[in-house]
Amino acid sequence: MKGILRIAYKLLVNDKGKFAALLLGITFAVFLMVQMTSMFSGVLKRSSSTVINVGAKMWIMDPAVNTVANSIGMPDYVLDAVRSINGVKHAVPLFSGGALVKLRSGVYQSVTVIGLDDTSLFGRPALLEGRIEDIYAENGFIVVKDAEFRKLENPALGTEFELNDHRGKIVGIAQVASSGLFGIPTLYTTYKRAIQYLPSPRFTVSYILVEPKDADAIEHIKQQVGSLGYQALTEDEFIQKTSDFYKYQTGMGTTILIMTAISFIVGLSISGQTFYTFILENLDKFGALKAIGAKGHELVYMILFQAGFTALTGFGLGIGLCTLMIALAKLRIPDYTAIVTLGSLLLAFVMVLIIAGISSYIGVRKVLKIEPFDIFRG
């Protein structure tokens, strides 16, 4: 069997043009599939950045909320009712809203303002500069240093700005686990200051962050919150709800699906046609092997080996090329969102196996039909 596979390898790489064409088709298909799905994965992660950064175990919201960026205010009595539920260790309000900031240069910049509970500051980010206590100072704000930091003209401690005709002052520079999706800088302040500075409707509680006493209390809390007419979700459930919105209720998921399918079809057509041509050009060699005693299943193993070797090599090259392109893009574009995930790799691997299987089937049918007599007669 080793000898048969060695012959198959030499037949495959001997024609460098055909071998390069096979690799190019699969590499290009894998590159496009992984690139598309990685971009989508990055978008989904960024869409839940606030949930990830705050780190609350449970979130309570209006049932109509689809994403963390589109909050619906809740009355204060809901917060009191949640705090009285058995199994709740503590519950705090969170404000999330958008605003326009006037910078020192006179330029206006959109920002996201997160208002933390004044007492506990639950969900506060890790500081790179400054002290968290200074957020209680007059007009104190903490800015997140991420890819959007430069849009605020790279503020330092003590930098002042205007927010709805109110004076604001940077008292801390923070880092977070995930940047936002829409290219908007993020400011943290206290809850009371946020609702004071930002125009808001009658109800100002965007979300209620809950810390359950234990895992067994989660279902009970959900039921009690549901009886109030609101929804309680764990952190993972809220992230999944946000992801489902972008997948199924926007055109983004459909677009990525179509692009992935096109990539698969391109790879299949190029590799299938090239592999079929390769088999036709080597029919005499397969016929000769059959004439000297090679069994049908051994010829099948040869074709499977050739298709599998080409597919896996192209898969590796495609992954490497995609990873290199994403790394270079992130060096030049800090807020580039693509993330290579295990799901993207598995999807591309399955697609490559399908391409290899169809290509092998085409070759096997042709080779098994040949007769040594026809080869030598020709």
Q: Distances from the Cα of 281 to the Cαs of 54, 68, 134, 365, in angstroms?
A: 62, 59, 77, 15
Q: What is the structure's pLDDT at 376?
A: 56
Per-residue CA distances from 269 to 25, 30, 80, 276, 345 (Å): 8, 13, 62, 10, 21
Q: Which amino acid is at 226?
A: G
User: Hey, what amino acid is at 71?
Assistant: S
pLDDT at 308: 85
Q: What is the DSSP letter of 182?
A: S
pLDDT digits (tens, 9 = 90+) for 242-297: 988 888 888 777 888 888 788 778 777 777 777 777 777 777 777 777 777 777 77
Average pLDDT, the chain: 86
The model's pLDDT over 93-148, given as tens digits with 9 standing for 90+, comes to 999 988 999 998 889 999 999 999 999 999 999 999 999 999 998 899 999 998 88
* Residue listed under structure tokens 């949930």: 51
pLDDT score of 37 more than 90: no
- Burial of residue 263 (CB within 10 Å: 0-12, 13-18, 19+) is buried
Confidence of residue 43 (pLDDT cuts 50, 70, 90): confident
pTM, full prediction: 0.78
Q: Best-predicted range by mean pLDDT among 3-7, 122-126, 329-333?
A: 122-126
pLDDT at 377 exceeding the cut of 70: no
DSSP alpha helices (H): ranges in the chain?
2-14, 16-47, 49-54, 76-83, 191-197, 217-227, 235-248, 251-281, 283-291, 296-332, 342-369, 372-377
pLDDT (0 to 100) of residue 302: 82
Q: Which two tokens stand for residue 183?
A: 């290219």
Residue 47: CA atoms inside 13 Å, Cβ hemisphere, count?
22
CB atoms within 10 A of CB 278: 23
**218 has pLDDT over 90:** yes
CB 206 within 8 A of CB 98: no
99 and 88 Cβ atoms separated by less than 8 Å: no
